[in-house]
Structure 1
Amino acid sequence: MYLAPIIYAAVSSLSTIRRSGLGLTAPTKVFDPLGNYTRALHDDAFIGSLGRVALFGVVQVPVMLGLALGLALLLDAKSARGKGFFRLAGFLPYAVPGVSAALIWSFMYSPLSSPVNRLLAHAGVTMPFFGSDVVLWSVANIVTWSWAGYNTIIIYAALQSIPAEVLEAARVDGAGAFRTAWSIKVPAVRGALVLTTVFSVIGSAQLFNEPAVLQPVSAGSISSAFTPIMSAQSAVAAGNYPYAAAQSVILALLVGVVSITFFKITGRRESA
């Protein structure tokens, strides 16, 4: 179930689609191991989508996980009240399907119906949510809203595994709440942070639902190749399955390299 699609995509990517000059005959597949990969690496739209997703991950993932860590620490604080309510409230956005969340936020972003811009209008300010320089962060806001609570629960669960004796010893030694959080709690949830970071990086590479839903109302700022998955989907829609497979293989390899490198770096730090 796992290997068959990967093998099929890798094999498909080794062929190219050839059409006759007049296009009157059915297209044929020709074995060309490097053809699709060469085309993909020279495709400005596809390379641009990789760079866009990389920028998205570099900015959005740390912001989201920093927010999740902060919320988890607040929930774990001894003085916190209503923990059950806030855990449920933080997790609820994750329970909303990604497409539904994007539809909700498209209403919030729309120039015609945005309540945010209606409020800002009183101050003479308008937020161009679908501006070419802003739309990526509009998408990032939706992803952060959807996944921050989910990551909060994972980190909070890791915080619950810290022995009470360790926290009590820190309190007896005179460590305040901030010192305890920084010196004991954060190092104790390093494994959870590594796990959520890798999952978030993979999720960033798979970005599709949110920009795809926003595309029709984005006034052209979200193209059909806005993300690598959208670019591959466009190739599928054009009937060029081998080229879409090549794009998918390139994306998978890049994500694999980043994930393995991150695991090695964090593993060395823990060993040190």
Structure 2
Amino acid sequence: MTVVNSSTSSAGRRPRGTDRQSRAGIAFVAGYVVLLIAFGILPTGYAVYFAFTDAGGTFSGFSNFITTAQDFRFMDAVGHVAVYLLFWLVSLVVFVVGLSLLLHRLSSGVASKSLRFFYYIPGALAGAASVLVWLFMLDPSVSPVSSLLSTLGFHTFGEVIAPGNLALLFTIIAFWTGAGGWIVVMYGALNNIPKDVMEAARIDGANAWQTAWRVQIPMLRKWIIYMVILAFAAGAQLFVEPQLLSLASVGVAGRDYSLNQLTYDFAFQMNNINGAAAVSVELLVVSVTVAGIFVARSGFFDAD
């Protein structure tokens, strides 16, 4: 007579609900994976192929990278993007974290909900639409803040968009468009800080500044790093703002201000697809390298 150990047999079977959840998870992720392959991995592989071949499809090594780097506009574009990234990332970290902390201090009242909504509104505008709004705002002849522009010494549109002002202008446009969404994200992260941690800080006599600096900001570290990584990748691909500004200013702002503009020029003005692909691959390598450094040095995936 065979005796079946019921505990052993039941342990060998997976609960029916677990299988259902696994299938649902796979189905949920599958759509993203398909899109990632179709619009991410395959185009990247295609760009890498063009970057290392010539117009005839023959392997050319690093010749496309050397040719584009020797272009007289390349280093200027690198410098423009570097200055913009410095302004953009510093303003994003300082003001997003600061505004999120202030918003969190307002608790869950009407003021807090209203501010969260107003912060998010600019993010609803597409990149091109937001730039067009700012083109209107920056033209002293039609701007509703023309008196402020005049006070600052700007009387014509050309004076406002002088080359020395572009990095700051693009930072303001990018912050206005993208900071609201990150403020909402940081606000949500602040709400996830355990209440007993905040209560312990209050009992220990920490004031608002000490609580923010020693408790809240350290617990936001991973979210801040995540924001910086994505903002760096997006900022390195600066294109819409300088391109539309170049068209609106009839060349006052050059069409080769950023590396992405230079890539566009290589591809569609000079018919040099291989050179354009080389610059694109360089941007990809730089973004991935910077992300890897941030992740490795910050312990991003370490368990809390």
Of 102, 113, 124, the residue aligned with 1:95 is: 124
Secondary structure in structure 2 of the residue aligned to 1:112: coil
* 1:100-119 pair list within 5 angstroms: 100-119=129-148
Distance 1:206-1:216 versus aligned 2 partners, 3 A rule: same
Partner of 1:222: 253
Identity of aligned pairs, percent? 28
Structure 1 counterpart of 2:183, one-letter code: T
Partner of 1:24: none
Moved more, 90-99 or 221-230: 221-230
Q: Structure 1 residue 245 and structure 2 residue 277: aligned?
A: yes
Partner of 1:22: none
The answer as to whether partners of 2:246 and 2:254 remain within 8 angstroms in 1 is yes
Distance 1:46 1:145 in 2: 28
Structure 2 counterpart of 1:227, one-letter code: S
Distance 2:280 2:153 in 1: 41
Task: Give the drift of 1:10.
Answer: 0.7
Structure 2 counterpart of 1:54, one-letter code: A
TM-score when normalising by structure 1:
0.88
Of 260, 283, 288, the residue aligned with 1:256 is: 288
What do the CA deviations read for 1:177-226 (whole angstroms, capped 9, x no partner)? Answer: 11111111111110100000101100101111111111122353422211
What do the CA deviations read for 1:44-83 (whole angstroms, capped 9, x no partner)? Answer: 3122212211111112111122111111101111567421
Distance 1:29-1:166 versus aligned 2 partners, 3 A rule: closer
Distance 1:199-1:34 versus aligned 2 partners, 3 A rule: same
Q: Structure 1 residue 165 and structure 2 residue 203: aligned?
A: no
| CA-atom RMSD in angstroms | 2.1
Distance 2:66 2:199 in 1: 60
Of 163, 177, 185, the residue aligned with 1:132 is: 163
Partner of 1:21: none
Distance 2:107 2:114 in 1: 15
Q: Structure 1 residue 47 and structure 2 residue 75: aligned?
A: yes
TM-score when normalising by structure 2:
0.79
Structure 2 counterpart of 1:174, one-letter code: G
Distance 2:197 2:52 in 1: 57
Structure 2 counterpart of 1:76, one-letter code: H
Distance 1:124 1:94 in 2: 27
What do the CA deviations read for 1:28-49 (whole angstroms, capped 9, x no partner)? Answer: 5554222211111212312221
Q: Which runs of 5+ in 1 are unaligned?
A: 18-27
What do the CA deviations read for 1:89-144 (whole angstroms, capped 9, x no partner)? Answer: 101111111110000000111243233333443x4832632111102211111001
* 1:161-240 pair list within 5 angstroms: 161-238=192-269, 239-240=271-272
What do the CA deviations read for 1:203-259 (whole angstroms, capped 9, x no partner)? Answer: 101111111111122353422211111111111213221111111011111112222
Secondary structure in structure 2 of the residue aligned to 1:44: coil
Distance 1:110 1:124 in 2: 13
Distance 1:9 1:91 in 2: 35
The answer as to whether partners of 1:110 and 1:217 remain within 8 angstroms in 2 is no
Partner of 1:266: 298
Tell me which structure has the larger Cα radius of gyration: 2
Moved more, 58-67 or 182-191: 58-67
Task: Give the drift of 1:7.
Answer: 1.1
The answer as to whether partners of 1:65 and 1:151 remain within 8 angstroms in 2 is no
Partner of 2:100: 72
Structure 1 counterpart of 2:94, one-letter code: G
Secondary structure in structure 1 of the residue aligned to 2:163: coil
Q: Structure 1 residue 16 and structure 2 residue 54: aligned?
A: yes
Secondary structure in structure 2 of the residue aligned to 1:15: coil
Q: How many residues align?
A: 259
Structure 2 counterpart of 1:60, one-letter code: W
Distance 1:42 1:8 in 2: 24
Structure 2 counterpart of 1:248, one-letter code: S
